[in-house]
Amino acid sequence: MAEDLTEERVINVTWHGRGGQGAVTAAMILAEAAYLDGYQGVTAAPFFGVERRGAPITATTRFSKKPIRTLSPATQADVVVVLDERLLQAVDVLGGLRADGLLILNASSPPEIFCTDMDIAVATSDANSIAREIGLVVAGAVLINTSLLGAFSKASSLIQMKSLEKAIGENFSGQAAKINIQGARLTYEATRINRSWQLS
C-alpha cells in the first residue's frame, strides 16, 4: 500500500470495458481487495448505457483509509483501466483522468506509444494473450478482467497482489479461482509502464 497517502484521501478508479468483459466484476473485486489490504472505506458501482453485449460499460472503485462519506459520482479518476484499447477511439476514457493520473491498458503495444501529448503515466499489458494461453476462455470469449487486476497492482502499487489473489479466490472457486489468480499474476509480471507513478 502506498505510504504517502493522507488519511482523508479517497482514491478513484474508473474501469472502461464492453458489455460481457467483466468491468463491473473487476471493480467489485478491487474494492474487496482494497478492504483486505487495510482500506476502511470501499465502494464499487457500475454505470450502464445501452445494456447489451459489446456496448461500452463504465464502473468505478473508490477506496480510502477512512470511511467514505460521499457517495456521489467522482468527477476525476486517479487511475483509469481500459479493458479494450479500441475504446480509446470510441469513448472519452481520458476525459475524467487527472492530469497526473495513471492509465492502464489491455494492449500488446508498449506504453510509450499511447497518449504521448499528456503528462500521465501509462501502463500496458497484453492480458488477451495471457488469458488465451492459460485457458481463460468461456464460450469463445477471452476473459481478461481479473488478469488486469494484476496490472493495476503492478502499475499503481496501491493494492498488494496477495490481497487481490485472496479477493479473486473469494469470488471464484476451485479451478476457476486458480486460473484467474494465475492470469492476474502473469499480467502483473508482464505489465510495462512508461514511468514510475505515485499517487499525489
10-192, what's its fold? Pyruvate-ferredoxin Oxidoreductase; domain 3 (3.40.920)
pLDDT digits (tens, 9 = 90+) for 155-179: 999 999 999 999 999 999 999 999 9
- What's the predicted TM-score (pTM) here? 0.92
The reported pLDDT for the residue numbered 50 is: 52
Q: What letters, b where the CB count within 10 A reaches 16 and e where it falls short, cover 113-131?
A: ebbeeeebbbbbbbbbbbb
Q: Which residues of the chain have pLDDT under 70?
A: 1-8, 48-54, 73
Dihedral sign for Cα 103, 104, 106, 112, please: positive
Judge contact between 63 and 31, C-beta under 8 A: yes
What are the structural domain ranges in the chain?
Answer: 10-192
Q: How wide is the angle at C-alpha 67 spanned by C-alphas 81 and 35, nearest 5°?
A: 55
Q: Which residue has the cell 479473486?
A: 168
**Pairing between β-strand 192-193 and β-strand 141-142 as defined by DSSP bridges:** unpaired
The reported pLDDT for the residue numbered 138 is: 85
The reported pLDDT for the residue numbered 90 is: 86
Helices (H), ranges, 37-144:
87-90, 127-134
pLDDT digits (tens, 9 = 90+) for 65-95: 998 887 776 779 999 999 999 999 888 889 8
